Amino acid sequence: MNDNSTETYVDRTYGGAGIGYGDRPGIIVVDFQTAFTEAQYALGGAPLIERAVGNTARLLEVARRANVPVASCYTAYSATGRDRPYWKVQAVIEDLVHGHPATQLDSRIHDPDYDVAFCKSGASIFFQTPLVSFFAKERVDTVIVTGCVTSGCVRASAVDSFQWGFRTVVPEDCVGDHHEGPHRDNLRDIGRRYCDITDADAVIDRLEEWRGRNRQ
């Protein structure tokens, strides 16, 4: 059977409207903690995630120079696990415990003197965290999504960004997954519905342009 899904969605106008940028960008960095960025851990070492860390580090360097708000999160639970949802990922249950080295934010993407950082307990960085109030205080209207994993916490965060009324932009090479198939599939799906899919260089150019306008 031929796969005509792309044509079918286009015919039904999915992805037919671009979102674009507003007046004030903010960046979220989802779960770039060592559990996902260091190969010694069961969830770590995926090439797409490593690529995303490198590109996000480039993007954040420009963002901080432009005074763009940055919010990073990590996932962790108590040793008892009583505050942990019913994850089906064994490594989450075993490694993502407060104080475990796997919960530390990767130093390549985290600047403790600039970024706002907090722990999350669900999939989305927005779920029961101070993120929305932080972005409201900073007058953010456009959220740039980076982090991992594309098919899990990144997707959940992008959907929540849309649901909170933010313009949402996802640079494809600043998010990563364990496998390219789910990475591509999920970006395609959210790009049809909720957000613009772009790349790190395009976002960097936009941030530099925004920085230049605000110097005047």
Q: What whole-number distance in Å separates Cα of residue 4 and Cα of residue 181?
A: 18
Give the tokens for residue 216. Answer: 């005047």
Task: State residue 2's pLDDT score.
Answer: 54
Distances (CA, A) of 145 to 87, 89, 119, 125, 213: 23, 23, 17, 10, 23
Q: What whole-number distance in Å separates Cα of residue 182 and Cα of residue 159?
A: 16
Q: For the segment 120-139, what is each residue's pLDDT rounded down to a tens digit?
A: 999 999 999 999 999 999 99
Q: For the segment 197-215, what is each residue's pLDDT rounded down to a tens digit?
A: 999 999 999 999 998 887 6
Burial 41-77 (b: 16+ CB within 10 A, else e): bebbebebbbebbebbbebbebbbebebbbbbbbbbb
Domain ranges across the chain: 23-215
Catalytic residues: 153
Contact 171, 55 (CB under 8 A): yes
Q: For the segment 68-122, what is each residue's pLDDT rounded down to a tens digit?
A: 999 999 999 999 999 999 999 999 999 999 999 999 999 999 999 999 999 999 9
In 3-state terms, what secondary structure has residue 41? coil
* Domain 23-215: CATH architecture, name and number where available: 3-Layer(aba) Sandwich (3.40)
Task: State residue 69's pLDDT score.
Answer: 98
Q: Residue 152: pLDDT above 70?
A: yes
Q: For the segment 172-197, what is each residue's pLDDT rounded down to a tens digit?
A: 999 999 999 999 999 999 999 999 99
Cα within 13 Å of Cα(129), Cβ side: 26
Q: Name residues whose C-beta falls within 8 Å of residue 29's C-beta, 6 or more positions apart in sequence.
A: 56, 60, 70, 71, 72, 73, 109, 110, 115, 146, 147
Quote the pTM value.
0.95
The label of the residue with tokens 């995926």 reads: 46
Q: What whole-number distance in Å separates Cα of residue 123 and Cα of residue 132?
A: 15
Q: What whole-number distance in Å separates Cα of residue 123 and Cα of residue 160?
A: 10
Averaged pLDDT of the chain = 96
Read off the pLDDT band of 6 (50, 70, 90).
Answer: confident
Percentage of the chain exceeding pLDDT 90: 91
